Chain A
Amino acid sequence: MRYGMVIDLKRCVGCNSCTLACRAEKGTPAGIFYHRVEKYEVGKYPNASMRFRPIPCMHCQEPACLEVCPTGATYKRPDGIVLIDHDKCMGCRYCILACPYDVRSSLKKIENYFGPGTVTPYETIKQKDFDKGTAVKCDFCVARLEQGRLPACVETCPATACFFGDLDDPESEVSRLIAFNRGTTLKEELGTKPSVYYING
């Protein structure tokens, strides 16, 4: 069993619903992104167009972040999900520098969206989950997975561009999508073996 994600770049319309669903699900403080969508232009006028690439944590099989973690806070579960034990994290930021995908953040302080001193009731509840001074990142919505639900970014995608499932099962939707569409991963040359695949790029 290895959880993984497939993102269809032909379908993605760059709407950032995934980014905002992630924000709402997790209640991440201002400035902290567990998920983002890279956007860029290709071509020259008039043969130009927009391109989009959603970037969650890659949940690598050989995570560069895990290798450098001096305290063992970053760990990989048997199902492939890479997590951070916030009790063990001492905030050294090695992992943030080591991650080639720039998906980890250091939670130096907890900033509120409406400025200091204005904590919404929503933020009050959500911020209980955060440990200042530690590294934070996408956890593939492990709490939702345990309830049999998909990660928030996958479920909300209006373009049906995101798929989630078991990469070890060759019959799963994600495995088939990767096989049929020659799925690729980002920065393959680094040997990190991401569990997030892109198709139709």
Chain B
Amino acid sequence: MTNKTAGNKKSSVKMNNSLPLGSGYQWRPLDPQEKGKRQTLFGICGACMQRDCGTLIRLQDGVVVRVEGNPDTPPNFGVLCARGNSQIMSLYNPYRVKSPMVRTNPAKGLDIDPMWKEVTWEEALSIITEKLKKIREKDPRGLVVCEGFGESGTILRSLFTAAYGTPNEIATHGPLCTIHYASSFVHGAMPEAIAEMEYCEYLLSLGRSLGPNFATAPAIRRFTKAMDRGMKLVVVDPHCSIEASKGEWVPIRPGSDLAFLLAMAHVMMSEGLQTDEWFLKNRTNAPYLIAPDGYYYRDPATNKPVMWDPVESQAKTFDSEFKDIALLGSYSINGVFCRTGYDLIKEEYAKYTPEWAEKICTVPAKTIRRISREFVEHAKIGSTIKIEDFTFPFRPASINTHRGVNGHRGGSYADLVGKIINMLVGNIEVPGGCVGNSYRGPLLEPDEDGVVKLRYQAKPYPFKYPPDTIDMHEYYPNKHSTPHLAVQAILNPEKYHIGYQVEAWLTMGSNPIRKNAEPDVYIEAFKKIPFHVSFAYHMDEPAILADIVLPAHSALESARCIAYRQPHQTTSADQAGMYMAYIRQPVPPVFHSRHTDDILMDLAERLGILYGLGGVYDRLNHTYNEPEPDNFTLKNSAYQLDINKKYTLEEIYDRQLKSWSHGNGRGLDELKRTGFVKFQGPRKHWYTYYFFPDNKTRHPFYFENQKKSGDTLRANLKKYNLKFPGIEDEEYVFEQYHAIPFWIENSEINAPPEYDLWVVNWKTPYYSHDQDNVGGNPWLAEISERDPFDAGIFLNSATAQQKGLQDGDTVTVASRYGKTSGRLRITELLHPDAVGIPGNHGMGTIQSNPLNRVGASFNSLLTLDEKTLDIISGGQELSPRVKIYKSGAIR
């Protein structure tokens, strides 16, 4: 029964010594006064994008000898993942950039030595200042600031960008993880909505991780607790992950989740299952009457949407007193033939039978019906629960979709259908159900139509012609981050109607070459951009293409002071009502690196944008981080900065802490003694239903605003006589803006038959995100190499047999967009139509850690082609069709 074991080979990872040129490999000498001393600092982990685990950092003779979980601090309470335990090797990493350097070889490429010349910080910053000053005088939009999870600790980057005057701050990590739109829309929440694991009894998880799949320590804690108390977990995924192994695995063909979800909604609406009728009538716009043009029918006198009262047989504005509300039916009002939103959706979904879906997604029709039934049964429709003194609806069932579902053309529709399924059982923002992970407060505030206000990505970006943004926000008004569009606009500004040239690019903790698709296109763009500065941790792909590299601190060296942010994967009572501020005390720097915010302050000062009105400090005084208004805003605080005086980062942290609404005036000195300060607020605030209960707000069920967003864009294109960039057929764009999410085909469904499989990617415990080059950490690489579920190219045994492929073969996987190769691993844990390539390996540079150069590169198989995108979010196709063959075989 055991078909594979990790064994206990004692080989070590072989590495060569190709260290970055231009700087000798010297550790900064230790402070002799540290000799014989032992010290413990408070830390915050930096080994995943969540980066929220409290740590203790042990030093001996000034050297970090251990990073441990801090037993007193939420959310990890002393535990730590494999990456967190390995951070020492990211600190003492010889492949880091150690000093500021300037290239002397004008030729750029991943395998071309830039012939670095080491310079002082003063020299480097002077050159940068001179260049950026000129660009700013000409047109500040010429600067692109490209950010990533590697530098998500900075508090000044966005303010610097804004003070400089460019709209072009672009995040690299977005297009492969477009998970925000539907939750913004339905929950008014950003970044997403997650399962509430304290009470959830039935969790249906698609294309996502609840924690264990990529080892986020606090989420594993919550997961284990929920499984211990008997939560039923159903994982619909092409890959039988760690989580699927702990629950029920329902294999699904990659990229076909939309069909599964539509069929589930169909079963719930049309096959006699119970729905939360009270919720649908009183807390959604499902009963709103829709006119034949697809918009709300509006009362001529008040312009308000209307609902039908079947007892009085008349239409009334939504905010009237109703004897009952009609969920179904068609009604003629003032001669206009209207139907309820629910009626229209039910009719549209009538065709999405489980039998129809089975042909597309391969999940048996009877399984879809069973899961739908179980989901409804577990939701306990009608039940209530008391949290403190407040009675909530109790709905302990949730469906949660994520990047695996959303990363396809039609992905936003799939995400929205997930919300429809949740709304059918009324589980939004109540105990046991699906709750947002932005700050907790009055997020469900209704707009004038009585429906949850558009926030975050649901709120369309205003159109402007010619466009200001290089990342095409004007054409993708509800998009997430789009470096993949920016890179094409940089290379072809005319095609995208851009009236300016990108003249400088700042890389900060980001790497679109490795973290996105078609690396060669990015490399071309980097060659075209005249001036590129990389705030670099190590000599990664952007760094080797830069004109100047500035050594940035590793996580352990970077001071940090933050308010706890809600977790991504799941939430539970540990988080409910808990507010915390905590600090990371920096360890002595190993090389000549600096804190990114210190570099930015210096640069801003030299550019004349640090002080005065509109400067970085002024902006810090008046802005807050949108998803978390609670997060240390100085707005209206007595501790605002004097905008004409320079502060140290510690002084800023101190003022932020003292301004924090839950901080009770405590400053940095106190946190240096305690590491964190915690405040327990009411638990009932955790569920934003509390702020707008009963019929005080309505979630969108019929997505009228989505249609409006599309129609507005269409009208603007017409007004300026524009073609949608990269897509000839306008319908191909606008069929993704309907008010009712429906079945549309993604770009891969009709690929040529030779591409007979779909590739899928998953994160692994050792490689979730690449902060501090986790992928180059030799401790983790050593484990990964021995892990039968980790690096490699995975194929189902039956598929392998059909193709005559064997475990250990070197194989090539080719999509229509690119190819990669690696060692084949045969498994039972994968859908037979799938090829699995976990993690993000391969590529690298001649000066990077050799570990970055090995392994199969999933991202190489992806494409930048606009026609493959989910047009709403800008999300890229995450499961291209592929073929697989033995490397060397002629194809």
Chain B positions within 8 Å of A113 at CB level:
13, 15, 89, 778-779, 782
Q: Which of B3, B4, B68, B782 sits near A31, CB closer than 8 Å?
A: B782
Other A-B pairs, 11, CB within 8 Å; known A17-B80, A21-B80, A46-B251: A13-B224, A15-B765, A17-B217, A21-B68, A31-B10, A115-B15, A118-B25, A121-B92, A125-B60, A156-B79, A158-B79
Chain A residues contacting B766 (CB-CB under 8 Å) are 16
Given A21-B80, A30-B778, A160-B224, decide whether A49 and B245 contact each other with a Cβ distance below 8 A: yes
Question: In the complex, A78 Cα to B666 Cα: how many Å?
Answer: 50
For A23, A25, A48, A126, the residue with the greatest tally of chain B CB atoms inside 10 Å of its CB is: A48
CB of A44 within 8 A of chain B? yes
Instruction: Decide yes or no whether A190 CB sits under 8 A from chain B.
Output: no
Q: Does A165 sit within 8 A of B, measured CB to CB?
A: no
Interface string of A10-42 (1 = CB under 8 A from B): 110111110111011101001111001111111
The reply to whether the CB of A1 lies closer than 8 angstroms to some CB of chain B is no
The winner among A37, A40, A121 for most chain B CB atoms within 10 A is: A121
Cα A33 to Cα B92 with chains together (Å): 21
- Please determine whether A32 and B215 come into contact, CB atoms closer than 8 angstroms: no
Distance between Cα atoms of A115 and B228 in the complex (Å): 43
In the complex with contacts A16-B783, A43-B828, A120-B92, A159-B224 CB distance below 8 A:
yes
Q: How many Å from the CB of B227 to the closest CB on chain A?
A: 8
The docked-state distance in angstroms from the alpha carbon of A157 to that of B217 is: 8
Q: Does A117 contact B (CB under 8 A)?
A: yes
Is the Cβ of A37 less than 8 Å from the Cβ of B6?
A: yes
Q: B270-289: contact bitstring with A at CB < 8 Å (1 yes, 0 no)? A: 00000000000000000000
Query: Using a CB-CB cutoff of 8 Å, which residues 1-56 of chain B contact chain A?
Result: 1-6, 8, 10-17, 25, 27, 30
Q: Cβ of A48 and Cβ of B829 under 8 Å apart?
A: yes
Query: In the complex, what's the smallest C-beta–C-beta distance from B844 to chain A, in angstroms?
Result: 15
Who on chain B is nearest to A108 by CB? B10
Q: Specify which chain A residues have a CB less than 8 angstroms from the CB of B262 in the assembled complex.
A: none
Contact residues, B83-113 vs A (CB, 8 A): 83-86, 88-89, 92-94
Chain B interface residue bracket vs A = 35 or more
**Residue ranges of B at the interface with A (Cβ–Cβ < 8 Å):** 1-6, 8, 10-17, 25, 27, 30, 60-61, 63-69, 71, 76, 78-86, 88-89, 92-94, 212, 215, 217-218, 220-221, 223-224, 227-228, 240-242, 244-246, 249, 251, 590, 765-766, 778-780, 782-783, 786-789, 796-798, 827-830, 832
| 8 A–B contacts, CB within 8 A, in A order | A15-B765, A41-B829, A48-B240, A48-B249, A50-B829, A114-B93, A158-B76, A161-B224
Closest to B28 in A: A121
Interface contact A15-B69, CB-CB below 8 Å: no
Chain B residues contacting A48 (CB-CB under 8 Å) are 240, 249, 827-829
| Nearest 6 CB-CB pairings of A with B | A48-B828, A120-B92, A31-B12, A158-B220, A49-B245, A20-B85
Q: Is the CB of B220 within 8 A of A125?
A: no
CB pair A17 B85 closer than 8 Å: yes
Interface extent on A, as a size class? 35 or more
Name the A residues within 8 Å of B217 (CB-CB): 17, 158
Of the candidates A10, A32, A156, the one whose C-beta lies within 8 Å of that of B68 is A156
Cβ contact of A45, chosen from B8, B218, B828, cutoff 8 A = B828
Identify which of B3, B66, B93, B251 contacts A25 (C-beta below 8 A).
Answer: B66
Query: Which chain B residue shows the least CB distance to A30?
Result: B12
Question: Pick the contact of A24 from B61, B66, B788, B789 — CB < 8 Å?
Answer: B66
Residue in chain B with minimal CB distance to A160:
B224
Tell me the smallest distance from the CB of B260 to a CB of chain A, in Å.
15
Q: Is A111 an interface position by the 8 A CB rule?
A: yes
CA–CA, A118 to B25, complex, Å?
8
Cβ-defined contact, A158 with B81, below 8 A: yes
**Once the chains bind, are A155 and B69 in contact (CB under 8 Å)?**
yes
Kindly state the separation between the CA atoms of A156 and B82 in the bound complex, as whole angstroms.
Answer: 9
Q: Is the CB of A19 within 8 A of B82?
A: yes
Is there contact, CB below 8 Å, between A42 and B5? no
What are the residues of chain B within 8 A of A39 when measuring CB–CB?
A: 4-6, 787-789
